[in-house]
């Protein structure tokens, strides 16, 4: 897990980069999912390590004369009745300060006065949360700053939304360990699931086999598992997972574990009968060749559109350009589709590479996805232990 000291260093680094501006990062008060745990905004989790405090906030007040109050944690007031339903919370005190690494912890009912006082001193606020696209509501920090600005003249509100994007994009050694552990768990799950793939098995049984291994090995489910056979494999976000596997079909599995809050993301395409037909093999080899070309192009200085072009050129030359209907991949981290910084790839970034072709008229979907850590000299593939070549797949299924 990430050490408390690392979260503290992240907050201190952000405080310096604000150059005197006031900022606040909110955990959010969105409803809990129907399945799974409530989890705070990824930026808040990145800075605090606290994932389960609905309504919490971190206030950055660089001009506060008390050094211990330049970074504060604000938590919702305790409610004994609510906590009997949702879980007991640690009261504010020395134990909570040690646990979180914050020297100053308050209740959120003090946020309006603390934020107003901070901005009155500086007349300068910095937005860190991503801006909303109209007509959606403005971001939570922008909303707060605007309310203060209506009461305090001369407030300057600045766009610093790129700060946390840049920080989160480059993973620390601790973060990389968690992502690699998530990948290891996923690799183990795919090794188990290959034993279950055969005609007559339901897609839901494949899903259960994967997710059972995730849980058994201390991981969690990183995102909604996709297990699509035949025509279902041509639906990018297929989630029903309720069709029996049929002989001769291809099976697209897009599923992965998370560990310590960090995700992996793997997709493989397997022949239900254990062998690719000549037609399936030809198409599969095109997608694999495209993926290998994109992986080769993934290195420091490269941009996603260049990596996408490397794969797309292969697929277009095979006459399948219209069948590749999504982008080549995405960054990976605290969220499956993690932050996209406004700069080329740098060492320490983690990305996925996932070309695919989808031919509904032939009931064929093929996607191959791996996770790469960008290094100084290129990249390191942390998920290529899951069989990927035709020879490897047929041998593993044999």
Arithmetic mean of pLDDT over the chain: 96
Mean pLDDT of 202-208: 98
pLDDT digits (tens, 9 = 90+) for 61-99: 999 999 999 999 999 999 998 889 888 999 999 999 999
pLDDT for position 267: 98
Whether cis (ω within 30° of 0) applies to the bond prior to 123 is: no
Check: CB of residue 140 under 8 Å from CB of residue 161: no
Q: Going by C-beta distance under 8 Å and a sequence separation of 6 or more, which residues neighbour residue 58? A: 11, 24, 25, 44, 47, 48, 71, 72, 73, 74
Mean pLDDT of 188-216: 97
Strand partners, 170: none
What is the enclosing helix (H) or strand (E) of 47?
Answer: helix 42-48
pLDDT digits (tens, 9 = 90+) for 286-325: 999 999 999 999 999 999 999 999 999 999 999 999 999 9
Q: Going by C-beta distance under 8 Å and a sequence separation of 6 or more, which residues neighbour residue 164? A: 14, 25, 43, 46, 47, 128, 339
Phi-psi region of 113 (alpha: psi -120 to 50; beta: other; left: phi over 0): alpha
Mark 175-191 as b/e (b = at least 16 C-beta within 10 Å): bbbbbbbbbbbbbbbbe
Check: CB of residue 266 under 8 Å from CB of residue 388: no
Work out the pLDDT band at 1, boundaries 50, 70, 90. confident
pLDDT digits (tens, 9 = 90+) for 368-387: 999 999 999 999 999 999 99
What CA–CA distance (Å, rounded) separates 5 from 81? 33
pLDDT digits (tens, 9 = 90+) for 16-72: 999 999 999 999 998 888 777 889 999 999 999 999 999 999 999 999 999 999 999
What CA–CA distance (Å, rounded) separates 285 from 355? 12
Q: Where are the beta strands (DSSP E) in 241-298?
A: 250-254, 257-259, 262-263, 267-271
Domains of the chain plus CATH, in order, are: 4-168 (3.40.350.10), 170-397 (3.90.230.10)
Check: CB of residue 247 under 8 Å from CB of residue 199: yes
Backbone angles phi, psi at 373, to 5 degrees: -95, 125
User: Is the overall model pTM greater than 0.85, yes or no?
Assistant: yes
Helix 304-317 with 278-297: angle, nearest 10 deg:
150
Does the pLDDT of residue 230 top 90, yes or no? yes
Q: Going by C-beta distance under 8 Å and a sequence separation of 6 or more, which residues neighbour residue 180? A: 373, 382
Mark 97-106 as b/e (b = at least 16 C-beta within 10 Å): eeebbbebbb
Does the pLDDT of residue 166 top 90, yes or no? yes
Mean pLDDT of 224-251: 97
- Alpha helices per DSSP H over 150-264: 162-169, 173-193, 203-216
Neighbours of 300 (CB within 10 A): 16
* Closest of 216, 248, 205 to residue 230, by C-alpha: 248
Q: Virtual CA dihedral for 134, 135, 137, 143, nearest 10 degrees?
A: 60
Work out the pLDDT band at 342, boundaries 50, 70, 90. confident
């Amino acid at each position: 897990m990430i050490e408390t000291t690392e979260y503290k260093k992240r907050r201190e680094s952000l405080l310096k980069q604000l150059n005197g501006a006031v900022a606040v990062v909110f955990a959010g008060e969105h409803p809990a999912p129907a399945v799974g745990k409530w989890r705070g905004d990824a930026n808040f989790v990145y800075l605090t390590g606290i994932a389960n405090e609905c309504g919490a906030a971190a206030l950055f007040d660089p001009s506060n004369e008390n050094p211990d109050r330049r970074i504060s944690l604000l938590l919702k007031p305790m409610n004994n009745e609510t906590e009997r339903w949702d879980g007991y919370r640690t009261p504010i005190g020395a134990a909570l300060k040690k646990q979180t690494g914050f020297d100053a912890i308050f209740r959120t009912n003090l946020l309006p006065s603390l934020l107003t006082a901070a901005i009155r001193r500086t007349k300068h606020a910095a937005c860190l949360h991503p801006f909303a696209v109209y007509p959606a509501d403005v971001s939570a920090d922008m909303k707060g700053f605007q309310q203060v600005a209506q009461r305090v003249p001369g407030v300057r509100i600045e766009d610093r939304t790129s700060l946390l994007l840049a920080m989160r994009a480059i993973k620390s050694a601790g973060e990389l360990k968690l992502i690699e552990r998530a990948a290891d768990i996923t690799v183990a799950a795919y090794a188990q699931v290959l034993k279950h793939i055969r005609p007559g098995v339901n897609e839901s049984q494949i899903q259960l086999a994967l997710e059972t291994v995730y849980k058994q090995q201390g991981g969690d489910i990183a995102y909604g598992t996709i297990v699509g056979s035949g025509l279902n494999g041509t639906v990018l976000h297929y989630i029903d997972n309720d069709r029996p596997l049929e002989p001769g079909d291809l099976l697209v599995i897009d599923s992965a574990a998370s560990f310590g809050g960090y995700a992996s993301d793997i997709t493989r395409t397997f022949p239900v009968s254990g062998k690719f037909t000549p037609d399936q093999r030809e198409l599969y080899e095109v997608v694999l060749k495209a993926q290998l070309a994109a992986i080769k192009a993934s290195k420091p200085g490269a941009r996603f559109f260049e990596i996408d072009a490397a794969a797309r050129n292969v697929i277009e030359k095979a006459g399948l350009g219209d069948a590749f209907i999504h982008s080549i991949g995405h960054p990976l981290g605290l969220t499956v589709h993690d932050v996209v910084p406004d700069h080329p790839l740098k060492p320490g970034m983690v990305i996925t590479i996932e070309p695919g072709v989808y031919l509904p008229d032939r009931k064929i979907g093929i996607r191959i996805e791996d996770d790469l850590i960008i290094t100084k000299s290129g990249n390191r593939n942390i998920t290529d232990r899951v069989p990927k070549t035709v020879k490897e797949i047929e041998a593993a299924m044999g």
